[in-house]
Amino acid sequence: MNQLSHGRTAGRGGHRRLLGIGLIAVFLVTGCGSSGGASPSAAAGDKPYAGTTLNMLMEDLTETHYIADLLPDLEAKTGIKVVFEQVPYSNMYEKLVPQLSGPEGSGTYDVVAVDYYWPGEFARSGWMVALDDMIAKDKLDLSGIVQAFFDVNGKVDGKTYYIPYFPYPMGIVYRKDLDIQIPATMEEFVAYTKSLKTADIYGAAMQGAPTDPIAMEWLNFLFANGGDLYAEDLKTPTVNNEIGLRALNEYLDMMDNAAQTGAAGANLDDASNTFAQGKAATMVTYVTIFAGLFQDPEKSSVVDKWDVAPMPGTNQGNVGVWSFGIPKSAKNQGAAWEFIKWVTAEDVARQRALKGGSPAYTSFYSDPEILAKFPYLTKALAILENGKGLPMITKQQDLVSTLGRELSEAASKRKTPQEALDAIAVKLTELAAQ
């Protein structure tokens, strides 16, 4: 809540006071763009985009700060200035959509940081520029990046729209100083966290707030139990079968009997704070983003006292990936591509990793210099490779909001677990057709 530098938050502000009638926002944003970019100067030779300013909307979290620190390097190399508008996660989608759905060249943002539940919707709505030609023309070598990331948030319908730069695999963060042994199955894990709860410490810090915190957290329970949202055909929902029900019952049991007070209203910041203050033994969360918080003695009482583990059961967790893409509404597409090439290149990515970032290159997970600083990354590669993203349907954001809302209905006992899952299944069927 306070100045945490990471966050997939559900209720944090800094955002505009949005009018209740959402429509008005759509009308007002048109014409607000001011990219201030100069046209590329022909005389600049190897710096054709010198003097161009790129505007980008970024989530206010450590990975963004690491990139911001390195921007002078881009400016020295290309003369391109980059302005980051940093907002909490929960405000990004609602700020991006009105921009992206506007006419070509009309938008404020030149490069878009795309979370893993937007790629299908953004590309299939015709908002994004396919990058394949530019990749071929510049002979860009992307083979060092974990290839599975392109399936989650890179390629849509065979074309490359996004370049992954920041994966956030989910697993378990736990207190290694408390002699915690993560059991083999989810059922045992839930029972274990319940047994860990005492007057001084919660068995788990949980993030059960609607809409995306609870959705992201619960998907790990589903995947670790061997369940999934859809059958292989991406049409038939399986979320409400007996595996889904078991996963939800386990989740609710853990929330009611192992987690901190108010877990059903807690977002990532709340839960991370609880863990950082030493008040929770475990946390199902993003395992590679916490170097900046848990290792910071000013904000954390668990420095060097934590480690990461894969989910029990199938070892499959939910894996998110952030990627960069160029919207058709961008004013400076050429310079935007220069930025993407720069930021996703191996040397710049390695500098981010050395600061504590979450690396997208396979080799970094065995890089001695990086591992010496961030030993937990040794386990993170396996968590990444075993993990699973969201199904590549068009309306992924709608899927996540629905999941979040219905799971929260179950968590607050307004619906039974089966009713909530059935409502999700109905929506999944509807979304599969869109």
Partner 1 sequence: MTSTHMPGDRRRGLSMRWRMLVPLFIALLLVDGFPLVYSAVGSLQRFLLSGTDLSRPFIGLDNYIAFATSDAFLNAAQVTLVLSAAVVTLETLIAFGLAYLLTLPNLRFRGIYLLIVMVPLLLSPVAVGLSWRLILHPDLGVLNWLLGLVGIPKMAWLGDVNLALPTIIAVDVWHESSVLILMFYAGLSSLPQEPLEAAKVDGASGWQSLRHITVPLMVPIIVVAVLIRLVSAVKTYDLIYILTRGGPGTSTETISYLIWRTGLAGPLNIGQAAAGSIILLFVIVGLTVLLLRATDRLATAA
Site for partner 1 in 306-335 (CB under 8 A): none
Site for partner 1 in 364-423 (CB under 8 A): 394-395, 397-398, 400-402, 405, 408-415
Q: What is the Cα–Cα distance from 54 to 64, expressed in whole angstroms?
A: 15
Q: Which is nearer to partner 1, 346 or 409 (CB)?
A: 409
Site for partner 1 in 23-62 (CB under 8 A): 23-27
Binding string, residues 271-310; x marks residues near partner 1 by CB under 8 A: --xx--x-x-------------------------------
Region from 33-41, 104-112, 258-266, 347-355 binding partner 1, contact rule CB under 8 A: 258-266
Q: Which is nearer to partner 1, 193 or 358 (CB)?
A: 193
The distance of closest approach from Cβ of residue 274 to partner 1 in the complex, given in angstroms and rounded to an integer, is 6
Q: How many residues bind partner 1 (CB under 8 A)?
A: 63
Q: Residue 121 is inside which H or E element, if any?
A: helix 119-124
Q: What is the Cα–Cα distance from 150 to 158, expressed in whole angstroms?
A: 10
Give the DSSP letter of residue 43.
G
Sign, CA dihedral 396-92-331-340, equals negative
Q: What is the Cα–Cα distance from 141 to 158, expressed in whole angstroms?
A: 18
**Which pairing describes strands 155-156 and 163-175: parallel, antiparallel, or unpaired?**
unpaired
Q: What is the Cα–Cα distance from 413 to 408, expressed in whole angstroms?
A: 8
Helix orientation angle between 242-257 and 186-196, rounded to the nearest 10 degrees: 10
Q: What is the Cα–Cα distance from 265 to 411, expressed in whole angstroms?
A: 10
Task: Please identify which residue in 7, 169, 265, 389 interacts with partner 1, judged by CB under 8 A.
Answer: 265
Q: What is the Cα–Cα distance from 138 to 95, expressed in whole angstroms?
A: 31
Task: Please identify which residue in 80, 112, 196, 209 interacts with partner 1, judged by CB under 8 A.
Answer: 209
Binding string, residues 91-130; x marks residues near partner 1 by CB under 8 A: --xx--xx--x-------------------xx-xxxx---
* Paired tokens of 219: 């998907």
* Paired tokens of 425: 């299944």
Cα torsion for 339, 341, 345, 347, to the nearest 10°?
Answer: -50
Q: What is the Cα–Cα distance from 353 to 364, expressed in whole angstroms?
A: 8
Q: Residue 168 is inside which H or E element, if any?
A: strand 163-175
Q: Could you write out the three-class secondary structure of 240-274? A: CCHHHHHHHHHHHHHHHHCECCCHHHCCHHHHHHH
Q: Does 22 bind partner 1 (CB under 8 A)?
A: yes
Q: Which is nearer to partner 1, 2 or 143 (CB)?
A: 2
Burial class (CB in 10 A: 0-12, 13-18, 19+), 56: buried
The strand pairing partners of 166, in sequence order, are 322
The distance of closest approach from Cβ of residue 203 to partner 1 in the complex, given in angstroms and rounded to an integer, is 14
Burial class (CB in 10 A: 0-12, 13-18, 19+), 42: exposed
Q: Which is nearer to partner 1, 39 or 412 (CB)?
A: 412
Task: Please identify which residue in 54, 71, 254, 266 interacts with partner 1, judged by CB under 8 A.
Answer: 266
Q: Which is nearer to partner 1, 33 or 169 (CB)?
A: 33
Q: Radius of gyration over alpha carbons of the chain, in Å?
A: 21
Q: Which is nearer to partner 1, 95 or 341 (CB)?
A: 95
Q: Does 6 bind partner 1 (CB under 8 A)?
A: no
The distance of closest approach from Cβ of residue 36 to partner 1 in the complex, given in angstroms and rounded to an integer, is 26
Q: Does 15 bind partner 1 (CB under 8 A)?
A: yes
The distance of closest approach from Cβ of residue 316 to partner 1 in the complex, given in angstroms and rounded to an integer, is 26
The strand pairing partners of 170, in sequence order, are 286
Task: Please identify which residue in 48, 79, 171, 208 interacts with partner 1, judged by CB under 8 A.
Answer: 208
Task: Please identify which residue in 178, 262, 301, 416 interacts with partner 1, judged by CB under 8 A.
Answer: 262
**Is 105 in contact with 329 (CB distance < 8 Å)?**
yes
Binding string, residues 211-240; x marks residues near partner 1 by CB under 8 A: x-----------------------------
Region from 207-215, 245-253, 326-334, 344-352 binding partner 1, contact rule CB under 8 A: 207-215
Which residues are near partner 1 by CB under 8 A?
Answer: 1-2, 10-13, 15, 17-27, 90, 93-94, 97-98, 101, 121-122, 124-127, 208-211, 260-266, 270, 273-274, 277, 279, 394-395, 397-398, 400-402, 405, 408-415, 434
